[in-house]
Structure 1
Amino acid sequence: MLLLTKEDIKKVFTMKDAIEADKEAFKIYTNKESEVPLRTNIQAPKEEGTMLFMPGYVEGLDCAGLKIVSVFPKNAEKGKPVIPATVLLMDGITGEVSSVLDGTYITQIRTGAASGAAIDILAKKDAKKGALIGTGGQACAQLEAMITARDLEEVKIFSRNPKKVEEFIEKAKIELSEYKTKFVPASSADEAVEDADVIVTATTSTVPLFDGNKIKKGATISAVGSYQPHMHEFDGTTLKRSDKIYFDSTDAVLSEAGDILTPLAEGIVTKEDFTGELGQVINGSIAGRENDEEIILFKTVGIAVQDIVTAKKIYDKAVENNIGLEW
């Protein structure tokens, strides 16, 4: 069994690799070439936390896996990851655990890569301005995915805590110094999104973050943060103005995402307004962006096949490069 830390993974796996892994994962999922039960969600009310158990199996890659991931916001006060996780990768032929990987980092890069995949496939080719709302544990990977998928000149960043925005930008300037994108603070979410070609939201907000009327024509939105029925990152106006609406998994989104469930219940949108899954665009069964005026929304809650495909790609590269600790 191979143990792989964050540092091991970073030696062999880039954000570009992660985006390609997610594209493959979405295609596998949509083509029904995987077994991915809806995740088990256990609440920890005392700590305002959530524990998620995400199993899956991909026969075509001869592997299976389980990710155990938690969302414990109070961890930030303790200097611990807000979204700690572990991934177990299993050999699909023998059923043995072949690797234990740093799931916190895998969660960060594969979730960032989901936005990267959506932006790469759906955003305007000449997109130059971005907006990132949220500066938590997901933010850096989301930012890197945005500027990997498109050569953005500028990304405006907003969080309710201006100090966190400043600290995040300073950190991003160091960690993403190889990119030429300018990172600037925004005074409000509305200011961040109003001129953006690409928008990523990565928060656990229970109320919409911005006025959907501020979204300009041609924008692509990747909404990442809402993964429970009471969470809402965008408003009904954003949905109504979106020309196309894609999901990572229709079943998962319609089971979990308050962003979609509440407007559905209120009659703001119907299921007929949903275009389909990103995997369908990838496999060519439905269209993606058809002109530069379309507002396109991608909603992702995350599916286990992303973790499994990403872990398998990392594991294969680690073995090839003799990286990691055998146990």
Structure 2
Amino acid sequence: MHGHAWTWGAVGMFLLGLGALAPPSAEACVAPNCLVDIRFPLPEDGGTVPSNVPGLVVVPPLLENTDVSTLRLLQSDGTPVPFTLANGERRTHVLVPKAPLVPGTQYRIEAKGLCQYRDTQTQSATFTAGPELPLPTTLGTLSVDTPSQGVFPVFGDSNCGSPQEGEATTLRFTPSPELVPFLPWVHWAVEVDGQPWSFANHHGLTSTGEDNPDSHKYEYRRQLLSLYTVCQAYNPPPPNMGLTPGRHQATLKGTLEHADLTLPPLSVDFELRCPSRCMAAGCADGGTGVLGDPVDEDPLQSPSKSGCTQAGGGLTVLGLLATLRLWRGRKARD
């Protein structure tokens, strides 16, 4: 009797250990329409807007559009400010003042979203115009962290961060001082080996060069500055396996909306690896190096997900219990 109690206790401890080692479950992440309403990218902490800003960007509600008839640019006393309307990148609109903003004057920008399944209210934001500043000519500097192996979230589908095992690293971006005042109106893209990896809308990076986490999960896209290769996949399966193991080059591109200038991109080399046990099993077998972004980018062909994948620990636990039951039956016959 005591022997059976010890055996089941040991099994319980083993199963508890399996639970401790298993990756955390993914968060369900189905994006409701207009979850994020209209946004007006502006300087952080109420900073001033350069009077010669090329254009003020209006970002539509998540998964929806902007009612362009409601776009307004006003002075604080309600006086309309003349502007022309242009189309920006990724369904945005750009208000281009017909004359430079007046330093020291407070303005209000407003618009209303078009949402299919709920009524929306007019959104607005206020800002103060500052002095004219030279337009930026550089982005800044780019480096990359030393890669590390472990479990990390993989974004790109409705699981909103499926935990997978592999090797990952992070790009470290420091914006140039001349770029910082214009950061809210810059949109971003990261390429790896010349192929699309991820993107970020206007104000996608903070003034310190970090990911601005507002809606990337619900846009079903990868985090802009995170690079990874999945060496061992767990349930739920990842939307993609990331990069193939090996050496790569990442390139960060930034575009100041409605400005007639080119900001030279920044590039950095890095390498990702899988453990030798996983490589021998064929976890990362060929491929083009980059898997397509699930949203707004041209998808590339995905490498095979065969080998070194698993459907979680359920089969392992059932197999253990079946083996224990068989062992107990044999012992009873002895």
TM-score band by shorter chain is under 0.3
More strand by share: 2
Q: Please give the TM-score of this superposition, normalised by the length of structure 1.
A: 0.25
Q: Please give the TM-score of this superposition, normalised by the length of structure 2.
A: 0.24
Higher relative contact order (CA 8 A, sep 6+): 1
Q: Higher Cα Rg: structure 1 or 2?
A: 2
